[in-house]
Structure 1
Amino acid sequence: IATTVYLATRLGKPILVEGPAGTGKTELAKSMARAFGAELVRLQCYEGLDESKALYEWDYRKQLLALQISGDNDGEAAMAGIFGPEFLLERPLLHAITGEGEKVLLIDEVDRLEVETEALLLEVLSEFQVTIPELGTIVAHNRPLVVLTSNGVRELSEALKRRALF
């Protein structure tokens, strides 16, 4: 395990840990965060997890309030003004690649994701960047150490496996 962690830190690749429930897969990420003095960012995977829960979503209440306060009659200008970083709610994947400091990103039970959502991870894990149509591409300030865990509920895609050490 120590060799894999060492290689992951040097190569900048995620670690994929597979095995039955209760064997300490999640604890590996927690231990890495403690050992490196890093923040642990956890994405708990489940069937039905989508972009708005994994990556980001817009703070609609704050946007609506800003529109009401502005009283701007120019609809196009008002719409452009409410899609800024101050209205963005960071979810675990986006939080892991933004901000300062070292982070360990734990993507727990990745095998529970639907194939479409697994594809969303590929952009983050291959380039450590996220594209938000209204803001553009956000590139990682510091690449997080990534630990993916799998209980073997389903076979993971070859594309995801190629991006990880296991």
Structure 2
Amino acid sequence: MTNSLPKNVDDTMTLLGEGNYVADRSLATALFLSLELKRPLFLEGEAGVGKTEIAKVLSNTLGRDLIRLQCYEGLDVSAAVYEWNYARQMLEIRMAEASGGADRQTLESELFSERFLTKRPILRALEPHAGGPPVLLIDELDRTDEPFEAFLLEVLSDYQVTVPEMGTVKAETPPLVIITSNRTREIHDAIKRRCFYYWVDYPNAEREFEILKIKAPNASEDLSRQIVAFVQKIRSLDLFKLPGVAETIDWAQALTQLDRLTLDPDTINDTLGTLLKYQDDIAKIQGSEAARILDEVKAEMSQKESV
């Protein structure tokens, strides 16, 4: 674990590897440029492909604090940036009135001072941190609405926020900002212009197998290869929600827990709920379709072994 940022793309690949994240070079390049040029990195892709994990890996390998803002519909400034502790302010007013203490102007300045300010993720990310600038993860931005996006423009452009009662709070050193989106709606161009952009796609079979070796090390090699081949074929089908890497890992871990060394139709049918998350998708794959896909997987694997 180090506090220093990578010096080049190769160092970034190494950094991600130290955090057990299997990345291709294009992702490492985007991440390196984001860190080096102090620009937010906007990661877009389907759910479960490893976008959020990148921020966690950065935090762990660099020894930086991870500050996560989980987005949702209706998210506003009071939940994302700051709010005043009204209960404490009222108590202070009553105490001042009871004691006949501070005059009104002095009391007002004290009420809107930092000790009455409740700091939310974005404001905390702009403050100095002992281990260096933190990793600010703005997760699933597509769940919010356009007014919140508009508010973020100041943060992403100048790494600062304006608290009307106190003035502007600006980061001495910018945090490392990772923004993710599952693309349930389009994010405004004004946000994307302030970021470097990268589409995190489903991994190819080779990279997904490498991921399983790290994330599900107890699975046999044959089982891991069959899982990867099966999942890769499922992703070519017309399903409501294609399985992400997270689901592949869950399935491998579940099958290992059941002491399975290879795939068979009954095991697939019994455990599809760890791979697919919608009943319509499960119904489409269960039974004869699962057996057909498995036969294809085993035939292709046999063919490769004979070459």
Which residue is equivalent to 1:96? 125
Higher CA-based Rg: 2
Residue in structure 2 matched with residue 52 of structure 1 by the alignment: 78
Q: 1:85 aligns with which of 96, 100, 114?
A: 114
Please state if 1:151 is matched with 2:182.
yes
Of 135, 140, 144, the residue aligned with 1:109 is 140
How far 1:73 sits from its partner (Å)?
Answer: 6.9
Between Structure 1 and Structure 2, the one with more strand by share is 1
1:11-38 per-position Cα deviation (integer Å, ceiling 9, x unaligned): 1101111111111111010001112111
Q: Which residue of 2 aligns with 1:63?
A: 89
Higher relative contact order (CA 8 A, sep 6+): 1
What is the TM-score when the length of structure 2 is the normalising length? 0.52
TM (norm. structure 1) is 0.95
Q: Distance in 2 between matches of 1:146 and 1:73?
A: 42
Q: Which runs of 5+ in 1 are unaligned?
A: none
What is the CA distance between 1:68 and its match in structure 2? 1.9
Q: Equivalent of 2:155, from 121, 124, 129?
A: 124
Q: Which amino acid aligns with 1:120?
A: F
| Alignment partner of 1:30 is 2:56 | yes
Tell me the percent identity.
Answer: 48
1:37–1:102 Cα contact (<8 Å) kept? no
Structure 1 moving runs of 4+ over 4 Å: none
Measured after TM superposition, the shift of residue 66 of structure 1 is 1.5
SS in 2 for 1:52: helix
Instruction: Please state if 1:10 is matched with 2:36.
Output: yes
* Number of residue pairs aligned between Structure 1 and Structure 2: 166
**AA paired with 1:6?**
F
- Answer yes or no: is the 8 Å Cα contact 1:4–1:165 preserved in 2: yes
After superposition, give the CA deviation of every residue in 1:123-155 in whole Å (9 maximum; x if it has no partner): 101000111111111110221010000001110
- Find the aligned partners of 1:153 and 1:5 in 2 and give their Cα distance: 23
Name structure 2 gaps, 5 residues minimum: 1-26, 198-307
